[in-house]
Amino acid sequence: QVQLVESGGGLVQPGGSLRLACVASGRVPNNYAVNWYRQAPGNERELVATYTYTGTTNYADSVKDRFTVSRDYLKRTTYLQMNMLKPEDTATYYCNLQPRWSPEDYWGQGTQVTVSS
């Protein structure tokens, strides 16, 4: 079993920044991707960013040039740096770990991000 814990959410004004963290523990595989998703009330869950198996990163068009995903392998932590936040970024953010060589995946409990003046 893999456990994921997100942290770093909070209330910020438009234009502000937050850094989310996703810490993995338990039986963490050697090769995996981490996705960041978000979901706002009434909206579909949206894939925001991915740190791939090969170490590349992908971003949704809505957050490109504002968000950055990175990983600290030693700490088993994946970060989502969010800059120039907008009210439409308000959502619960979840990390998702996808092992390369097994079909199951893992989810954290989510962390709330609210962007409001």
Q: Identify the burial level of 8 via C-beta atoms within 10 angstroms of its C-beta, where 0-12 means exposed, 13-18 middle and 19 or more buried.
A: middle
Question: Over pLDDT 90: what percentage of the chain?
Answer: 98
- Measured CA to CA, the distance from residue 49 to residue 34 in angstroms comes to 8
φ, ψ at 64 (rounded to 5°): -55, 135
Per residue in 19-63, pLDDT (tens digit) is: 999 999 999 999 999 999 999 999 999 999 999 999 999 999 999
Predicted local distance difference test score (pLDDT) of residue 78: 98
Residue 28: the pLDDT is: 94
Mean predicted lDDT score pLDDT of the chain: 97
Contact yes or no for 115/85 (Cβ under 8 A): yes
